[in-house]
Amino acid sequence: MSKLILVRHGQSVWNAENRFTGWVDVDLSEKGVLEAQKSGQLIKNLNIIIDISYTSFLKRAIKTLTTILKENSLELKFNTSWELNERHYGSLTGLNKEDTKKKIGEEQFKKYRRSWDITPPPMAENDKNQSLFSPLNPSIPLGMTPFTESLKDTYERVIPYYEKEIQKHIKEGKNVLISAHGNSLRTICKYLFKISDQKINELEIPTGNPLIIEFDNTFEIKRYYYLDESRAKTIIFNQ
């Protein structure tokens, strides 16, 4: 029976400041480092072997993954992919969420933040935040870097990568760890748990709390649970 372990990175500096982060390559906060360490300890308590690991191009996810691997005395060997990046928040990137809500109104704010297929206005090509993107970004194929994304857009880059590169290892009976972001992990949960376009806005992914998904021999989901029950969020299944 194989396991898929999904971990949203520990709290980032911009999470702590309540800012839209998206593709900006911010680091973990002090709290985030502790969350990553605890994630590693919780996974270690499972007494399982992590066979293969994946993360995004963003240091907050990479650092969370390397911390987990160190806590489990594992080699720092993993796969990085831009397809697992956080959703691109367009022109909202860097803005304080509360200030933005007051400026554009709660209804529009909710549409930008939680709707399935509505994108924020695109980021300008000369936006200062572009200089804060991952140094790995030049390896992204020409024309593939977005200037804004809806959750649907994020799904359409994450899931093909999952199906092509990650799913095969689960079918081989391996345990797979993915350290990524709130929205990229929401798309994987949408895919695996068959969550509708209408209900996906209700799914919350807590930082630094590993979600374990166990598959049976027919690769159907047999069990799913958060390791830190005190910080668990409701998982929506087939709704």
Phi, psi of 96 (to 5 degrees): -70, 135
> Using an 8 Å Cβ cutoff, are 224 and 238 in contact?
no
Give the pLDDT confidence score for residue 66 in this predicted structure: 97
Domain ranges of the chain: 3-212+222-231
Phi-psi region of 215 (alpha: psi -120 to 50; beta: other; left: phi over 0): beta
pLDDT band at 236 (very low <50, low <70, confident <90, very high): confident
pLDDT > 70? residue 41: yes
Going by the DSSP 8-state scheme, the letter that residue 166 receives in this structure is I
Determine what percent of the chain is predicted with pLDDT higher than 70.
100
Q: What does pLDDT average to over the chain?
A: 95
> What is the mean pLDDT of the segment spanning 187-196?
96
Alpha carbons 101 and 24: distance in angstroms, whole number:
20
Sequence-distant (6+) residues with CB within 8 A of 182 are 8, 86, 205, 207
Nearest to 7, CA basis, from 154, 161, 185:
185
Q: What digits encode the pLDDT tens for the residues 147-174?
A: 999 999 999 999 999 999 999 999 999 9
Q: How many CB atoms neighbour CB 87 within 10 A?
A: 28
Q: What digits encode the pLDDT tens for the residues 100-123?
A: 999 999 999 999 998 999 999 999
> What is the mean pLDDT of the segment spanning 184-202?
96
Nearest to 54, CA basis, from 28, 84, 75, 26:
84
Q: Is 133 helix (H, G, I), strand (E, B) or coil?
A: strand
Q: How many CB atoms neighbour CB 103 within 10 A?
A: 11
The two tokens of residue 140 are 């992204």
Give the pLDDT confidence score for residue 1 in this predicted structure: 82
> What is the mean pLDDT of the segment spanning 33-37?
97
Q: Please state the pTM of the whole predicted model.
A: 0.95
> Using an 8 Å Cβ cutoff, are 148 and 123 in contact?
yes
pLDDT band at 239 (very low <50, low <70, confident <90, very high): low
pLDDT > 80? residue 238: no
Alpha carbons 125 and 69: distance in angstroms, whole number:
37
Give the pLDDT confidence score for residue 184 in this predicted structure: 98
pLDDT > 70? residue 136: yes
Give the pLDDT confidence score for residue 226 in this predicted structure: 96
Q: Which CATH superfamily is domain 3-212+222-231 in?
A: Phosphoglycerate mutase-like (3.40.50.1240)
Question: What residues are annotated to the active site?
Answer: 9, 86
